[in-house]
Amino acid sequence: MTDWYAGLDTTLDHVWRLLSRAPVDRRSPLRTPVMATVGADGLPNARVVVLRAAARSAGILEVYTDKRSKKVNDLEISAFATFCVWVPKADLQIRIKTIANILSGSEVLPLWQSLSEPARRVYGGVPAPGVLLAHPSEFGARPDPAALALLRCVISEIETLHLGADLHRRARFSRNDDWQGSWCAP
């Protein structure tokens, strides 16, 4: 059997195998990738997010967040979100460029209804994210469906870097190119 990293197709298959599992696997590093955005000031912002869904057919990733968070603010101005994660067991870096659609209000009501009581507590705390506090205990949960936002991130490019014992393999796959992929210098 040939190793997955030897071919372009098998590399992309492996990425999607890892991505598909991640939302339901608490130990997967892909469940908590870093998401980078560009702030209103033009500066890079980055934070860890929880990957809630990954669908190969549509080429999308989904993340939930508080609608009042800085990342939503960033994405309202510049919709580009780039994900990055290192997968130790696969010696693999995965980077994914996306364009994020921000869904909220009536669009996410079915999602809100599907969330458990503890899960809802993450959306709608008082005061809003980032507001100064004299002490962390001043913050209180106030679950509010209006504070839930679903980021539906449409993938434009996936880039992999596999650090093999023999070779470093870097590949780039883009939607424009129908995901056929190409190798490039690491």
Q: Contact positions toward a copy of itself, by CB under 8 A? A: 32, 34, 36-38, 42-48, 78, 80-84, 86, 93, 95, 97, 125-139, 167-170, 182-186
Euclidean distance between CA atoms 103 and 125, whole angstroms: 19
Q: Which one, of 3, 1, 70, lies nearest residue 37 by Cα?
A: 70
Measured from the CB atom, the residue of 82 and 104 that comes closer to a copy of itself is: 82
**Shortest distance (Å) from residue 129 CB to a copy of itself:** 5
Contact 172, 184 (CB under 8 A): yes
Measured from the CB atom, the residue of 20 and 45 that comes closer to a copy of itself is: 45
Measured from the CB atom, the residue of 58 and 131 that comes closer to a copy of itself is: 131
Measured from the CB atom, the residue of 20 and 93 that comes closer to a copy of itself is: 93
**Shortest distance (Å) from residue 179 CB to a copy of itself:** 16
Quote the Cα angle for 180-184-186, to 5°: 135
**Shortest distance (Å) from residue 26 CB to a copy of itself:** 11
**Shortest distance (Å) from residue 12 CB to a copy of itself:** 15
Euclidean distance between CA atoms 18 and 29, whole angstroms: 9
Q: What is the CA 21 to chain-centroid distance, rounded? A: 14
**Shortest distance (Å) from residue 171 CB to a copy of itself:** 8
Half-sphere exposure of 173 (CA within 13 A, CB side): 23
DSSP 3-state assignment of 94? strand
Measured from the CB atom, the residue of 110 and 118 that comes closer to a copy of itself is: 118
